[in-house]
């Protein structure tokens, strides 16, 4: 019996929930047991949603080392042989508590120098790997002094069956849409920077030219609430939709017509992957992480965040001119089948775990699926 423990902290969000739930669902016929531990409230919300044995271990005054003694006893009592840390603070707690082999999952392309410095303190010569959702994450870690051999790129996985189920459901009707409406959404969580507001203004501009444009703003972040308030007190048109809590973000992407990735330096590659698979047109800032997956006018549309006309005007034009959408969506879905398959994701993680427990280099036999061929 292999017991695996998933650790969560306050950085946990949609990407961590999706990635962890896909691993937790894999039990290998009962030969694997999954546990989840959270060290704060936000992590607890995500960990509890996995539907596996959940445990809450409190930090004192938000100081991560204070949770280490209790986590150490927990891991020993449960005979845990592998840790998956879904955040840097969670990884720090896991490393302080145990020398058990550990995988640290990193999704954020815009890692700060302070975060990279913390990651460097975690690195061990054996039984340790940094699982990067994009090549950009890996590159920034290496540039920050993290050993290349510790960094492995494993692309996120997409559930094509779930997408099909969502598209055949009544979600669009529940959102108040009719068949003619064009639904735009943005990645969750919605940042508080002005870039997210630019997408709102782009949708407003498009709606002013042609009726039917709506903007779904997911989550309950400060940025999401800010856009919703602006929609209520601004122009006469009301284009913003706040999806109910039971409509998960992956379901929202599945039924949307376009995903606009805000150019804030932290592009959600998981959201882009799901949009490609769902044939939801991707309109994104031409940043490194996004450009790994999207080629302009091949499988999506890229724009320059420093365009002289401004982000809102450029995105509005891309929303209005839909002549290339059918071709882009078809190509994107084909790429998603090749790169973001669930079986590939599970096999790569199995190989990664085997490497760590056997003392082999973490990335041995784990090939970036976006670079195959």
- Three-state SS for 204-265 is HHHHHHCCCEEEECCCCCHHHHHHHHHHHHCCCCCCEECCCCCCCHHHHHHHCCEEEECCCC
Q: What is residue 193's predicted lDDT score, i.e. its pLDDT? A: 66
Residue 270: name the closest of 105, 112, 151, 147 by CA: 105
pLDDT in tens, 267-303: 678 999 999 999 999 999 988 888 889 999 999 999 9
In sequence order, which residues have a C-beta less than 8 Å from that of residue 140 and are 6 or more positions away?
109, 111, 116
Helix axes 14-24 and 269-277, enclosed angle (nearest 10): 70
Of 49-63, 93-107, 158-172, where does mean pLDDT reach its minimum? 49-63
Q: What is residue 178's predicted lDDT score, i.e. its pLDDT? A: 92
Domain spanning 2-155+341-371 has what CATH number? 3.40.50.2000
**Where in the sequence of the chain do the CATH 3.40.50.2000 domains occur?**
2-155+341-371, 160-337
Q: Is the dihedral of CA 198, 200, 205, 209 positive or negative?
A: positive
Q: How far apart are the first and last CA of the chain?
A: 37
Q: Residue 79: is its pLDDT beyond 50?
A: yes
pTM of model > 0.75: yes
Q: Does domain 160-337 have CATH number 3.40.50.2000?
A: yes
pLDDT in tens, 187-245: 987 876 667 889 999 999 999 999 999 999 998 888 888 898 988 887 767 899 999 98
Q: Of the spans 18-32, 92-106, 285-299, which averages the highest pLDDT?
A: 92-106
Distance (Å, whole) CA 203 – CA 316: 6
Torsion of CA 123, 271, 345, 88, to 10 degrees: 20
On the question of a cis peptide bond just before residue 189, with omega within 30 degrees of 0, the verdict is: yes
Q: What is residue 219's predicted lDDT score, i.e. its pLDDT? A: 86
Between 119 and 61, the higher pLDDT residue: 119
Average pLDDT, the chain: 91
Q: What is residue 373's predicted lDDT score, i.e. its pLDDT? A: 39
Q: What is residue 265's predicted lDDT score, i.e. its pLDDT? A: 52
Q: How confident is the model at residue 263 (pLDDT cuts 50, 70, 90)?
A: low
Of 108-112, 150-154, 331-335, 356-360, where does mean pLDDT reach its minimum? 108-112
Residue 265: name the closest of 299, 305, 296 by CA: 305
């Amino acid at each position: 019996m292999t017991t695996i423990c998933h650790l969560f902290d306050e950085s946990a969000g949609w990407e961590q929930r999706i990635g962890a739930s896909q691993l937790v669902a894999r039990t290998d016929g009962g030969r694997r047991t999954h546990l989840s531990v959270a060290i704060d409230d936000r992590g607890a919300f995500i960990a509890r949603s996995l539907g596996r044995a959940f445990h809450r271990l409190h930090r004192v005054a938000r100081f991560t080392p204070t949770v280490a003694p209790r986590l150490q006893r927990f891991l020993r009592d449960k005979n845990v042989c592998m840790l998956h840390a879904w955040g840097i603070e969670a990884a720090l707690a896991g490393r302080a508590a145990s020398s058990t082999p550990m995988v640290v999952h990193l999704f954020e392309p815009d890692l700060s120098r302070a975060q990279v410095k913390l990651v460097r303190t975690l690195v061990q010569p054996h039984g340790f790997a940094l699982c990067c959702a994009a090549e950009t994450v890996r590159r920034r870690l290496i540039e920050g002094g993290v050993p290349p051999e510790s960094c492995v790129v494993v692309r996120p996985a997409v559930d094509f069956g779930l997408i099909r189920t969502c598209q055949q459901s009544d979600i669009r009707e529940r959102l108040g849409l009719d068949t003619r409406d064009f639904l735009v959404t943005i990645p969750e969580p919605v940042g508080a920077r002005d870039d997210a507001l630019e997408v709102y203004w782009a949708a407003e501009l498009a709606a002013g030219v042609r009726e039917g444009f709506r903007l779904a703003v997911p989550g309950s972040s400060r940025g999401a609430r800010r856009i919703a308030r602006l929609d209520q007190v601004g122009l006469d048109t009301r284009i913003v939709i706040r999806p109910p809590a039971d409509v998960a973000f992956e379901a929202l992407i599945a039924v949307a017509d376009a995903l606009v990735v805000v150019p804030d330096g932290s592009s959600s590659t998981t959201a882009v992957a799901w949009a490609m698979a769902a044939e939801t047109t991707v309109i994104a800032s031409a940043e490194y992480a996004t450009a790994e997956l999207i080629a302009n006018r091949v499988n999506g549309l890229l724009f320059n965040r420093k365009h002289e006309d401004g982000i809102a005007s450029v995105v509005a034009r891309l929303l209005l001119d839909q002549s290339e959408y059918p071709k882009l969506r078809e190509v994107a879905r084909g790429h998603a089948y090749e790169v973001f398959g669930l079986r590939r994701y599970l096999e790569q993680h199995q190989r990664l775990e085997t490497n760590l427990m056997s003392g082999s280099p973490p990335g041995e036999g784990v090939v970036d699926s976006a670079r195959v061929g």
